[in-house]
Structure 1
Amino acid sequence: MTQDPNESVEAFRARARDWLAATLPRRLDRVAADTVEDDSHEWERARELQKTLYEGGFAGICFPTEYGGLGLGEEYQKAFTEESEGYELPLLLNVPSFAICAATLLETGSEEQKRERIGAAIRGEEIMCQLLSEPSGGSDLAGLITRAEPDGDGWVLNGAKTWSTSAYAADWGLCLARTDWDAPKHQGLTMFLVPLDAPGLTMNRVRMVNGSREFCEEFFDDVRLPHSSVVGEVGDGWTVASRQLFHERSAVGGGSPYISGRRSVRTRSYPAPDQVARAVGADDDPFVRELLGEYLALTTVHQQTVERVSGAITAGTLPPSASSMLRLLHAEVGHLSADLGLRIAGSAVATGDGGTPGTEGWAGIGYLMRQGGSLGGGSTEIARNIISERMLGMPREHAPDRGVPFREVRRGN
């Protein structure tokens, strides 16, 4: 349907409210099937729901109309998200497909890439993922060694990636590769759009400590790509990756305008401390209530900081690097939630029922995954460096490989 450009936010909200009530089922409170070997049904359901949103005129609210969106401001997306609370939505598609990959293509992709890939994602036909981290790279993304070499009118890709969120369910991946070994490490990179069914690409799912197989590793053996797969300019991949990391930090921190629904990332819904307190019957304990007060205060600060910083970045009064504050605060909230859940549950964390959200044992599983909040969207150490150097003007850390041709940089032992 065609969006009325003069429709007010409140009229849009009312229309969304009526459409949601008449169209979408209520969301069931259940555990995400992370440990199920075959969760393809969840992804197929997400695609169906996205198609329903598109047909109803509520998909891609903040994406431009020429790429399949509605071309509306963040206030419209916020209104829809508020009204959609409690309804079943394609939350699996939020991160990384919309909030990171589509947002990055919107800023750096060619017209063909934007029309085809963003449009297909909004229609529920395709899913995108990131192919960034490497087995030997750690947090030094620019030190990657996956290489793409020119061959005729295209490229040949070789190397490996890992920790690729939901890549097994995706159709396309944004892959950063080295194309110039004589340039310094940040200057010899190029971003590619890679079809994940390409010959020569092998993918394995990685099992986590909590049983999740959300992450993948990929191996590229002479994967051939056309020149049209280049995102941005050859040799300017770090510019694309920088915008990609900005959107990732915004998505992890809760500040992306391209997300529909309250839950933006595909993780198990580990119990908040107040849920644990009720599960163990300690919600009236004065000491526990003091701990809960600490948690609620931090979550309130987080929510208000997201709104303030996101608005300031959009208005241009804060630089994009300010998104690192959201990413860092998101990790702090997650750490405190896991720590307090463990303290409140006590010994029940090892003996309680671990199969239902809100029960004692589930808090223990959540604690095992505590450090995940320090890594997703870039490590908290990197976030602190960005804040100190780019926002506070503190001196940059010494980097012995800065300005050195990458083939001369020492790697490994």
Structure 2
Amino acid sequence: MTDTVSTTGTTESVADFAARARAWLAENMPRIDAEHPPFTVRAEQSSWDRAKELQKRLYDGGFAGICFPREYGGLGLDFAYQRAFNAECRSYEMPLILNVPTFTICAATILDMGTEAQKRERISAAIRGDEILCQLLSEPSGGSDLAGVITRADRTDGGWVINGAKTWSTSAFAADYGLMLARTDWTVPKHEGLTMFLVPLNAPGITMRRIREVNGNEEFCEEFFDSLVLGDDAVVGEVDNGWEVASRQLYHERRAVGGGSEFASGTGAENANEMPPDHVGLAEATGQADDPRVQELAGRALVRRVVKQHLIDHVARSIADGSLPPNAGTLIRLFHAETTELEVDTALAIAGTAAVVDEGGAAAGLLDVGVRYLSRQTGSLGGGTSEMARNVIGERILGFPRELAADKGIPFNQVKRGRS
């Protein structure tokens, strides 16, 4: 950590940067127990208000947007500086909920595909802690076929009129802008007639509702667009070339979900429910610490956790040096999903009935394991399903033949949908 990394932002060494961050954090950010982080509830507006407050502190202190270019409000530094800062800030309260989707997905996509004005306005506002960004991709009838969206954008004088619906939009209720994929040409194959828009979520013509999940959470939203009017300046990328933007967006999402994005600031858990399960503690609480079967289960999960971190580091380095293609971020996404499921499944197997019934005694308080089990599969859905991730790995990394698509090359208005 003594080298100076080549960067347009500074000649300060990584070690000196880390030392400066260490001193600043001690003076300016609230301390926490990293093993028992504050309980941040994504479904509550107060959590987002607190995150914006903390982000403003980082910005004022000169530690926000470390890997974003300086002209858009960041520091323009190499990933090594962000990693150093992450190591220093682990014991401090950080605006972690802003990492996904604001910074690692939406701002990263705008950085790659947006206009100069969009970069200067939206990325800068997010880094300052003034705005939150979200994704508006999935649709009630779309499922995992993102290119099959039917939300339509019709051209008008100087702009567009949007009609349709989106769903499963993460934290959209707290967001100021959203990246929305819509169909602008129905006469060409589905991937060719799409356009990405940057939508102000307080605009007339948008109705938003919260979605209640089986575990009681209400983080996700659905949105209905009724003659929403957007200007040409809302287009991200080129008209009818939205699939290129969406593909880049998915690239960033798959890296973000797995924990491999350079645009994430801080690496701790957002709250206790995001912490990896304490399998050893569960075994002790249920009187199974000496059970060889339970020890094997816990050991397998712990090893998988270590392997995941090594995979993140390996894939990040390999994408950076070109030895792996950008789509290799999907490897992180898939391994993350499978590791999360294994961790929670193992916790439930160890806790047994104590995870679903309050049995009192030493095992009291383990019911959260059962609640976590209800949402264990979310990592297998974010950024596309795990089945789609395997397709990406097979076709775009390993070079396997693409699967047959019945609608390939067919104008979208001739594709059979639903019961048609």
Please give the per-residue CA displacement for 1:143-173, whole angstroms capped at 9, x wherever unaligned.
0000101110000001000010000000000
**CA distance in structure 2 between the partners assigned to 1:243 and 1:204 by the alignment:** 28
Residues 203/70 of structure 1: CA separation in 2 closer, same or farther (3 Å cut)? same
CA deviation map 1:211-231 (0-9, x unaligned): 111110000000000100000
Aligned runs of 1:246-257 on 2, under 5 Å? 246-257=251-262
Query: Residues 275 and 359 of structure 1 are in contact (CA less than 8 Å); yes or no, is this contact kept in structure 2?
Result: no
Say yes or no: does 1:93 pair with 2:98: yes
**1:213 counterpart residue number:** 218
Which digits, 9 at most, give the CA deviation of each residue in 1:313-366, with x for residues without a partner? 122211111111101000110110111011100110112399xxx942111111
CA separation of 1:63/1:278 partners in 2, compared to 1, >3 Å: closer, same or farther?
Answer: farther
The whole-number CA distance in structure 1 between the counterparts of 2:219 and 2:395 is 33
| Superposition pairs of residues 47-86 of structure 1, within 5 angstroms | 47-86=52-91
After superposition, the Cα gap between the structure-2 partners of 1:274 and 1:218, relative to the gap in structure 1 and judged at 3 Å, is farther
> Aligned in 2, Cα 1:259/1:360: closer, same or farther, shift over 3 Å?
same
Question: Which residue of structure 1 aligns with residue 396 of structure 2?
Answer: 390
- For the pair 1:137 / 2:142, whether they are aligned, the reply is yes
1:289 partnered with 2:280:
no
Describe the SS at the equivalent of 2:371.
helix
Alignment counterpart, residue 159 of structure 2, candidates 145, 154, 176: 154
* Residue 333 in structure 1 maps to residue 345 in structure 2: no
Q: Cα gap change, 1:394/1:235 in structure 2, threshold over 3 Å: closer, same or farther? A: same
Partner of 2:282: 276
Question: 1:346 is paired with a residue of what secondary structure?
Answer: helix
TM-score, scaled relative to structure 2: 0.93
SS at match of 1:51: helix
SS in 2 for 1:85: helix
Deviations 1:105-157 (A, max 9, x none): 00000000000000000000000000000010110000000010111000000
Q: 2:190 aligns to what?
A: 185
Mapped contact 1:98–1:258 kept (Cα < 8 A): yes
Match of 1:102 among 101, 104, 107: 107
Would you say 1:399 and 2:405 are equivalent positions?
yes
Give 1:9's aligned residue: 14
**Distance in 1 separating the partners of 2:62 and 2:207:** 37
Which aligned pairs between 1:365-376 and structure 2 lie closer than 5 A? Answer: 365-376=371-382
Amino acid at match of 1:253: G
Letter in 2 for 1:296: L
The equivalent position to 2:177 in structure 1, one of 172, 183, 187, is 172
Q: Which runs of 5+ in 2 are unaligned?
A: 1-7
Aligned to 1:315: 321
The offset of 1:378, in angstroms, is: 1.1
Taking only the aligned residue pairs, the percentage that are identical comes to 58
**Which aligned segments of 4 or more residues in structure 1 are displaced greater than 6 angstroms?**
264-267
Structure 1's unaligned 5+ residue stretches are none
Write the deviation string for residues 40-74 of structure 1: whole angstroms up to 9, x where unpaired: 21111100000000000000000000000000000
Q: Say if 1:203 and 1:219, in contact at 8 Å, map to a contact too.
A: yes
**Cα gap change, 1:106 to 1:343, in 2 (>3 Å):** same
Report the CA distance between 1:285 and its aligned residue.
2.8
Asked if structure 1 preserves the Cα contact closer than 8 Å seen for 2:9 and 2:77, the reply is no
Matches within 5 A, 1:220-239: 220-239=225-244
Deviation at 1:27, TM superposition (A): 2.6
Over the aligned positions, Cα root-mean-square deviation in angstroms equals 1.9
Cα distance in structure 1, aligned partners of 2:270 and 2:406: 36
Q: How many residues align?
A: 406
- Normalization by structure 1: what TM-score? 0.95
Question: What does 1:105-116 align with in structure 2 at a 5 Å threshold?
Answer: 105-116=110-121
Partner of 1:401: helix, strand, or coil?
coil
Q: Is the 8 A contact 2:37 2:270 kept in 1?
A: no
Alpha-carbon distance in 2 for matches of 1:23, 1:200: 41
The answer to whether structure 1 residue 42 and structure 2 residue 42 are counterparts is no
